[in-house]
Structure 1
Amino acid sequence: MKGSLWLAWRQQRVLIGIGALLLTAAVAIAAYSRSGMLDDLRSGLFDHCDPGPLQCTRPETGLPLLLDIGPLKYLGVLNIALPVLIGVFWGAPLLGRDRELGTYRMVLAQGVSRGQWFATRFALAAATTVALSGLLAAVFAWWWRPAANRSYGLFWYENTALSGSGPRVMVAALFGLAAGTLLGLLVRRVLAAMGLSLLVTGAVTLLLEWTHRARLLVPPHTYTSAGSIPKPAMGEKWSTGHYGLITVTGRHEDVMNCPFPSGAQLSECMARHGYVARFYEANPAGDYWAFQWTDTVVLGGLAFLLTAATMLLLRRRV
């Protein structure tokens, strides 16, 4: 290792070390907590629990029966926050500190081109970001598997699972790095660039969470049933909370027009009002990957555009 790559390593080794310590701590906590989770499952305490979203209770007391998934959720929150943390503490100072201190002039005076100066720093940061975020996502998936989609565990559509696992974690982290790097190049003061990175990456993270709740990018499926028999159990589906009755013309109307459970009363009410079926809207468990790949495309596209903008602006700003 020599030249600009050696300098990039010297400048980033503390952050790389912090990332390695964070990953080590996550693995240790996951191994300990998952072992206890498996012991609880093998004890037979949860054998009477049905799959699906309905809460499982203790037979003797009726109190909720849950696995200890608190630490798992904290890891999910960390994975969701990665683009913000990386953008603020890694991306913004990546070029911004050299610009603010003027040390980039000394580097360029050694025969290093602007492109090489940027490429070595960004490549090292990006490789470490991908490795760290990918391994944290893998740790989450391994830890989550015994409790996945169970009433006593964590369902795929809960935000810590949906946004804190899978390939979108890696691409989101890269987006945070790209956003912070561009802002560090544009803004002369590192602290100002860090503040702007916090606002930008935080806003995009919250916006994507909103699109999940609104089903804006991955629309729900509509499920129908006749009403004379109980409708299929919700199971692992993610309900929108939108359900009701369907007329002959296909119009959806309020369920309270026939507020009866399945059976003769409901069938009679539906016939009297001209309803031919009832419906509810939900995303099936398979849509986990639809959400994942949609977020990956959106965040990956943003990361690419921001990196390209940084490269184009490099000659004007440095």
Structure 2
Amino acid sequence: MSITTTALADSRRGPRLRGLTWLVWRQHRAAFWTGLAITAAGIASFAYQRASMMDYLNGIGWPHSKSADWSAGFETYDSLLSNTSSALGLLMPVLVGVFLGAPLIANDLEHGTGKLVTSQAVSRGRWLATKLGMAVLVVTVCTAALSAAFGWWLGPVSKENPALYWVAGSATGPLPVALTLLTMVGGVAIGMLLRRTLLSMVVTFGFAVTIQLVWAFRWRDLGNVTTITTHDGARTLPDLPQAAYEVRQSYLTSSGELLGRDSCALQTEQAINACLDRKDVVGWSVDYLPPSELSPMLWTGSAILLTLTAAVAVFICWWGRKRLY
């Protein structure tokens, strides 16, 4: 076979990984291919579930349903959407951090593979950058694809239920990508420092859970809370915009003082009314987050998480070049 024929045959095969990139892919191909396969299966499942959901909604004449209790038949899809959002927003970042991030470098340091590679005319910085870069690329592609597909599934009914809009909506857009990248890169840093795979996986699990708890308790701080008040008594709560997230309810007195709902938490209606009259309650004050706040909150939170991720990645490269061995 001539050189020209060989070159033509190689060109038809398309681009192939070479050198260190090929080595890193081959070393972690099981994790990478598993992630890509799960992503493909997830997208196919989301497409199927959306088609099934739309068939049901179209059958009842949605959005102008012929049945007053249409939501009763929607419970199955509501549950599926909620569970899927939990898997994307809570479970996926933890699993990626523990099973991809923590062993990525720790396993090489524990078994001496990294030292062997960097002794073969490959610098520590290049080795770290290649491993981290390929992992970040695969994780970003997979999580972004799953997030976009889930958002497409959720979109038609996102505002039908406030809980669904805010909880499931948090699993769309950039947030799952940012959370997963932070836990993954954090796991890489933990593995680099501890140098033991199993120990790194355990510590990374704790780190990922901590990140989730901090986000769960502080995400409301990223939004601009709106307050609505009424002065027509305590019997009727004010109407909130569709899919608004209620933050707090308080009784409003004639002097403008706010009282907690437990201020008149008595057993009988007569006792409650007497308590309200005694405290001069004239209406309600309700704090809520408008639906329009969700997208800015997700992007702001994601920007914060990605900034932390970049800082950890810089630390990995700096520490790895100086003190890896």
**TM-score by structure 2 length?**
0.81
Deviation at 1:294, TM superposition (A): 3.0
The equivalent residue for 1:58 is 69
Return the match for 2:57 from 41, 50, 56. Answer: 41
3-state SS in 2 of match to 1:280: strand
* Cα distance between partner residues in 1 of 2:216 and 2:146: 20
3-state SS in 1 of match to 2:249: strand
8 Å Cα contact 1:94-1:181 kept in structure 2: yes
Return the match for 2:246 from 239, 250, 253. Answer: 239
Is 1:131 the counterpart of 2:147 in the alignment? no
Deviation at 1:246, TM superposition (A): 4.4
* Cα distance between partner residues in 2 of 1:89 and 1:36: 33
Deviation at 1:130, TM superposition (A): 0.6
Identity across matched positions, percent: 24
Return the match for 2:193 from 179, 186, 192. Answer: 186
* Cα distance between partner residues in 1 of 2:179 and 2:281: 49
Is 1:297 the counterpart of 2:303 in the alignment? yes
- Opposite residue 184 of structure 2, the aligned amino acid is L
Structure 1, unpaired ranges of 5+ = 51-55, 260-265
* Cα distance between partner residues in 1 of 2:36 and 2:58: 33
The equivalent residue for 1:312 is 318
Deviation at 1:110, TM superposition (A): 1.1
The equivalent residue for 1:278 is 284
* Cα distance between partner residues in 1 of 2:57 and 2:213: 34
The equivalent residue for 1:201 is 208
* Cα distance between partner residues in 1 of 2:120 and 2:63: 68
Residues 178, 89 of structure 1: alpha-carbon distance in 2 compared, 3 angstrom cutoff: same
* Cα distance between partner residues in 1 of 2:252 and 2:51: 47
- Opposite residue 259 of structure 2, the aligned amino acid is E
3-state SS in 2 of match to 1:231: coil
8 Å Cα contact 2:103-2:191 kept in structure 1: yes
- Opposite residue 173 of structure 1, the aligned amino acid is T
- Opposite residue 104 of structure 1, the aligned amino acid is G
Q: Which has the higher helix share?
A: 2
For the pair shown, the structure with the greater C-alpha radius of gyration is 2
**TM-score by structure 1 length?**
0.83
Deviates more, 1:197-206 or 1:69-78: 69-78
- Opposite residue 23 of structure 2, the aligned amino acid is L
* Cα distance between partner residues in 1 of 2:44 and 2:163: 20
Residues matched between the structures, number: 295
The equivalent residue for 1:210 is 217
Q: Could you report, residue by residue, the CA deviation over 1:280-307 in whole angstroms, capped at 9, with x for unpaired residues? A: 1111101112320232123112212211
